[in-house]
A and B are shown apart, each in its own frame.
Chain A
Amino acid sequence: MSIESFAQTLVFGVFVGGIYGIAAMGLALVFGVLKMLNIAHGELLMLGGYATFWAFRTFGLDPFLSLGIAIPVLFLIGLLLDRTIYRHIVRQLGEEKIKNSLLVSFGLTLVIQNLAIWLFTADERTVQVNYTGGGLNLFGVAFPYARLISLAIALITTLVLSYFLHRTYPGKAILGTAEDFEAAELAGINIHRVYMMTFALGASLAAIAGTLVTVIYGISPSIGIVWTLKSLIVIVLAGTGSILGAFPAGILLGVVEAVSGAFIGSTYREVVGLVIFVLVLILRPEGLFARK
């Protein structure tokens, strides 16, 4: 393998990994704060992708600009799901909560997926914009514009979320609630409001990931579960409870998948991700990017 093609493999791994990171970050946020595992996160991502697709198809809106539609739409869907379904689960404690969140969100996965087939048909949809084919070429390595913009959006999203969580008052309230929800209540924080806003924020992150997926790969109603599984791997790599660690962990998974795909064949790419998942669980269960 030439140096150029190896470099190209790495670069594409980083591009893919950025999307993994953003997809996982919303799941990590909800898991870290509400202590529920939302299997339907991939379906929210899929809905976000469709919001972008339809904004593109109907109004001719640039898919990256249509984040301005996809994010608020998914934020509202997040609020709605929290009010109608998840708020009943979040009140439960410990094992019961995690079990019920798995069951309910798995059921929701089926509902949303079938709803999407009914509404949007099972066809795969893509968006084509005039810069889709274009890109930079540095030292024989291609940097397609769409992927560069996607990575930039992923990076900016991570930085904005980091700023929000660590530097603003409502952000700190979210982190405090994640650490100890009773202590947060005793500080005067309305934790059920925090849970609602956090869930909606997680759905908004899914909207961003879904938009990037739509631009880079295209979208169909069945993609949700694939992204939920990827996100789970990334969360374990990052360390459960590490929200922003999802970004470097996503990049790592993207690069490892790309490199192993190049060396041992793309059929085993998925396997490598799962092998790492198991290895990390055995050797470093606290995750690679967890602060301790």
Chain B
Amino acid sequence: MTKFLDVHGINASYGDIPALMDVSLKVNEGEIIALIGPNGAGKTTLMRVIAGLHQPISGTVKLGETTLHTLAAYQIVEEGMILVPEGRRLFGGLSVLDNLELGAYARRARESRFRTLKRVFEVFPLLAERQNQRANTLSGGQQQMLAIGRALMGLPKLLLLDEPSLGLAPMIVENIFDVVKLMNNQGVTIFLVEQNAHQALELANRAYILEQGRIVGKGTGMELLHNHEVQQAYLGLAPAAN
């Protein structure tokens, strides 16, 4: 496995409030990596820094040999790393089809967009049925599918997903996670932020734990699932009686 995404020593803040402190992590090609942690830990900020939406104070982000933290967000998309942001962030007034088309705006994805569209419709047949509907008339689950579909239109090598299960019914969450697995099988590396720690850890090869802006733990998905502290803090299991 080759080193793929290399995040090193990231410090970031919102105004005077520090959000991330010396965060380093690595994602190897072909992996599914999960980042778990409580609300307000800085998970979304880290995703925004990696995607080029938030300027870090210091630290580096590299994808392979390419330095990303000096690039604008749209240039990072051009390198093949695409973020599905928290809260979906669809173009609500535009049609499902327009949303998907815009997902392929990057030069590297534009030429093959009609072929890619067919593939996305195979993964999400529902989007094909509703292609002329306006995005903000879709249900929450459908919107999440569209958000992922839009990202796939950009032909990601590395897909970042920020809280894809947020606010969705368990059945639909499973559906979304199945798609993530499918994408991974087709060669897309996945970096996933989740509050839904149990499912995320089951899915992930490896995971990092972020608390109060710092990486406080890491391990394989299985290790963390069976780790006592993780169970207590994130998996809702009662502490074992001594």
- Which residues of A are at the interface with B, using a C-beta cutoff of 8 A? 169, 172-173, 175-176, 179-180, 182-191, 291
Contacts and interface: CB of A to CB of B under 8 A. Distances in A.
Q: Which of B91, B94, B101 has the most CB of A within 10 A?
A: B91
Given A182-B85, A182-B89, A183-B90, A190 B72 contact: yes
B25 interface: no
Interface residues of B, number: 30
B51 interface: yes
Interface stretch (B73-81, B125-133, B205-213): B73-81
Interface in B101-153: 101-107, 109, 150-151
A186 B82 contact: yes
B105 A173 contact: yes
B74 A179 contact: no
A172 B98 CA distance: 7
A184 B53 CA distance: 11
Given A185-B72, A188-B106, A189-B74, A169 B101 contact: yes
B74 A175 contact: no
25 contacts: A172-B101, A175-B91, A176-B91, A176-B99, A179-B94, A183-B85, A183-B89, A183-B91, A184-B91, A184-B102, A185-B52, A186-B73, A186-B77, A186-B82, A187-B74, A187-B77, A187-B102, A187-B103, A187-B154, A188-B74, A188-B103, A188-B105, A188-B106, A189-B102, A291-B93
B133 to A, nearest CB: 14
B18 interface: no
Given A182-B89, A185-B72, A172 B51 contact: no
Contacts of B73: 182, 185-186
Contacts of B10: none
A172 to B, nearest CB: 5
A182 B93 contact: no
Contacts of B151: 186
B217 interface: no
Nearest to B147: A183
B72 A175 contact: no
B169 to A, nearest CB: 24
A54 B85 CA distance: 51
A179 B136 CA distance: 12
Contacts of B74: 185, 187-191
B40 interface: no
B116 to A, nearest CB: 13
Contacts of A173: 102, 105
Given A176-B91, A179-B92, A183-B85, A188 B101 contact: no
B172 to A, nearest CB: 21
A172 B151 CA distance: 17
Nearest to B105: A188
A189 B99 CA distance: 12
A176 to B, nearest CB: 5
Contacts of B77: 185-188
A41 B173 CA distance: 49
A262 to B, nearest CB: 39
Contacts of B94: 172, 175-176, 179
Contacts of A187: 74, 77, 102-103, 105-106, 150, 154
A169 B110 CA distance: 10
A176 B154 CA distance: 15
B83 interface: yes
A179 B105 contact: no
A179 B53 contact: no
A180 B89 contact: yes
A22 to B, nearest CB: 23
A150 B123 CA distance: 50
B53 A185 contact: yes
A17 B171 CA distance: 54
B91 A180 contact: yes
